[in-house]
C-alpha cells in the first residue's frame, strides 16, 4: 500500500511538471513520506533586528508550507555557523538562510580559510531589506560641530581623540570608517567592540567620538538627541533622516555603502523552487504590516528577483575586494 501511494505521488509530481507547473516546496512537503518543517536560519541571537525581521517574514510566508515555517537560530562564529548549516542542508527549498550582506561579501576577503563560497555554495532567492549607514557623533565632539567639514577640522585639531567605533572588526561599519578616513585624508583610529550595545554605550557616554551604524540601529538615539547624525552612506538621503545629507551629495562619490538582508538556499535547489519562493517573499514584503515592521527598524524593503539578487552579491563581492586588501585586515578565526 505504501509503495502504491509513493508511486501515485511520484506520478502527480511528474504530471505537474509535464503540464508546465512546478513541484514547489509545499508539494515537496505534502508528497514526502515524512513531512518536513521549513526553516529560516538566522546567524544572530533572538531579539535583534535580523531575527525580528526574519520572524516577521516567516509569519507572512508560513501558509505556503503545510508543516509550517519557523525561524531557527544558529548563533556562533560571527554568523558563519548559520551559513555552514544551510550549505550542508538538503537542496529542497525547506532550509533557507536569512543573512546580512557582509557574511557573503566581506568575509570571503577577510578570512583566510572560510568554510563556504558565497557563489558556489548558495542559490540567491531574494533580497529583503536595505539600510544605509549613518555617521554619528557623540558628546565627545562639541555641539558646535554640525557638518562633515567641521568634524574633519575637529579631528585634525584633536588627533588623539579622532577615533571611530564599530560593532565588530571586519563588518561593513568597520570598513566604512576606513574608507571615510582615506577619502577625507583624515586619520581615524578604529576601535572595535563586541556588539552594538557596548559601542553605543561608549559613544553616548563620550568615550569615543563617532561611529558608523545602520540607520535603524540608532534612530531612537538620534531622535532623543543623544547622538547627532552627520551624513549617510547611501547615494541619496535616507527617508528616515531627511535633513541629513549623503556623503555622495557632499562630493564623496566612492562612499556609497548599503547593507542588506536577503534569503538564500543551498546550491542546486531546483530553479522552480527558487523562483516560487522568491515570489512568496516579494508578496510578503509588499504586505502593509511588513512595511510597518521595516519602518520601525529604519530599513527599506528591497524587492528583487533571484537573478537581480545574484548580481548584487557578485557586485558587492568585487567592490569590497580592493578595499579589504588595501586595509591589510585579516579576520581572526573563532
Separation of alpha carbons 282 and 128, rounded Å: 8
CATH of the domain at 41: 3.40.190.150
Domain span at 159:
135-232
Closest CA to 119 of 105, 100, 101: 105
Q: Domain ends where: 169, 198, 232?
A: 232
59, 290 Cβ separation under 8 angstroms = no
Q: Where is 126: in which H helix or E strand?
A: strand 122-137
Q: Which triple of cell numbers denotes residue 302?
A: 528591497
- How many whole angstroms from its chain centre is CA 312? 12
Q: Which triple of cell numbers denotes residue 273?
A: 523552487
Give pTM, 2 decimals: 0.83
- The DSSP secondary-structure symbol of 332 reads P
- The DSSP secondary-structure symbol of 307 reads H
- pLDDT tens digits, residue range 173-210? 999 999 999 999 999 999 998 878 889 999 999 999 99
- The pLDDT of residue 6 is 37
Q: Specify if 244 maps to a domain.
A: no
Q: Let me know whether 109 and 154 are in one domain.
A: no
Total structural domains within the chain: 2
Q: Let me know whether 182 and 320 are in one domain.
A: no
Separation of alpha carbons 159 and 69, rounded Å: 52
CATH of the domain at 185: 3.40.190.10
Higher pLDDT, 156 or 17: 156
Least reliable range by pLDDT among 174-183, 250-259, 285-294, 315-324: 285-294
Separation of alpha carbons 255 and 230, rounded Å: 14
- The pLDDT of residue 24 is 52
Separation of alpha carbons 22 and 276, rounded Å: 9
- The DSSP secondary-structure symbol of 172 reads H
pLDDT band at 48 (very low <50, low <70, confident <90, very high): confident
- pLDDT tens digits, residue range 232-264? 999 999 999 999 999 999 999 999 999 999 999
Separation of alpha carbons 126 and 304, rounded Å: 6
Q: Specify if 334 maps to a domain.
A: no
Q: Specify if 145 maps to a domain.
A: yes
Q: Specify if 238 maps to a domain.
A: no
Q: Let me know whether 69 and 112 are in one domain.
A: yes
Residue linked to cell 558563519: 80
**In the predicted model, what is the mean pLDDT of the chain?**
89
Q: Specify if 271 maps to a domain.
A: yes
Closest CA to 123 of 170, 91, 159, 163: 91
Amino acid at each position: 500500500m505504501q509503495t502504491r501511494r509513493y508511486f501515485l505521488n511520484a506520478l502527480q509530481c511528474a504530471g505537474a511538471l509535464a503540464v508546465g507547473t512546478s513541484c514547489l516546496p509545499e508539494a515537496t512537503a505534502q508528497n514526502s513520506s515524512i513531512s518536513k518543517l521549513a526553516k529560516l536560519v538566522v546567524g544572530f541571537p533572538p531579539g535583534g533586528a535580523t531575527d525580528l525581521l526574519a520572524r516577521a517574514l516567516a509569519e507572512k510566508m508560513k501558509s505556503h508550507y503545510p508543516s509550517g515555517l519557523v525561524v531557527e537560530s544558529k548563533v556562533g562564529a560571527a554568523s558563519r555557523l548559520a551559513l555552514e548549516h544551510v550549505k550542508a542542508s538538503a537542496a529542497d527549498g525547506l532550509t533557507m538562510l536569512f543573512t546580512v550582506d557582509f557574511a557573503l561579501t566581506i568575509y570571503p576577503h577577510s578570512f583566510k580559510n572560510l568554510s563556504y563560497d558565497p557563489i558556489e555554495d548558495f542559490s540567491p532567492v531574494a533580497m529583503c531589506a536595505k539600510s544605509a549607514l549613518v555617521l554619528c557623533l557623540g558628546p565627545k565632539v562639541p555641539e558646535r560641530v554640525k557638518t562633515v567639514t567641521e568634524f574633519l577640522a575637529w579631528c585634525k585639531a584633536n588627533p588623539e581623540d579622532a577615533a571611530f567605533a564599530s560593532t565588530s572588526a571586519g563588518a561593513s561599519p568597520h570598513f566604512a570608517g576606513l574608507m571615510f578616513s582615506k577619502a577625507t585624508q583624515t586619520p581615524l583610529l578604529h576601535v572595535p567592540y563586541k556588539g552594538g550595545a557596548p559601542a553605543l554605550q561608549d559613544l553616548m557616554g563620550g568615550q569615543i567620538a563617532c561611529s558608523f551604524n545602520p540607520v535603524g540601529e540608532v534612530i531612537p538615539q538620534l531622535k532623543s538627541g543623544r547622538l547627532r547624525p552627520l551624513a549617510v552612506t547611501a547615494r541619496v538621503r535616507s527617508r528616515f533622516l531627511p535633513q541629513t545629507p549623503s556623503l555622495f551629495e557632499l562630493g564623496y562619490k566612492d562612499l556609497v555603502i548599503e547593507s542588506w538582508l536577503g534569503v538564500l538556499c543551498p546550491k542546486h535547489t531546483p530553479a522552480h523552487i527558487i523562483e516560487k519562493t522568491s515570489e512568496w517573499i516579494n508578496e510578503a514584503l509588499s504586505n502593509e504590516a511588513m512595511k510597518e515592521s521595516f519602518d520601525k527598524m529604519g530599513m527599506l524593503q528591497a524587492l528583487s528577483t533571484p537573478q537581480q539578487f545574484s548580481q548584487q552579491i557578485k557586485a558587492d563581492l568585487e567592490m569590497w575586494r580592493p578595499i579589504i586588501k588595501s586595509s591589510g585586515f585579516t579576520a581572526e578565526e573563532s
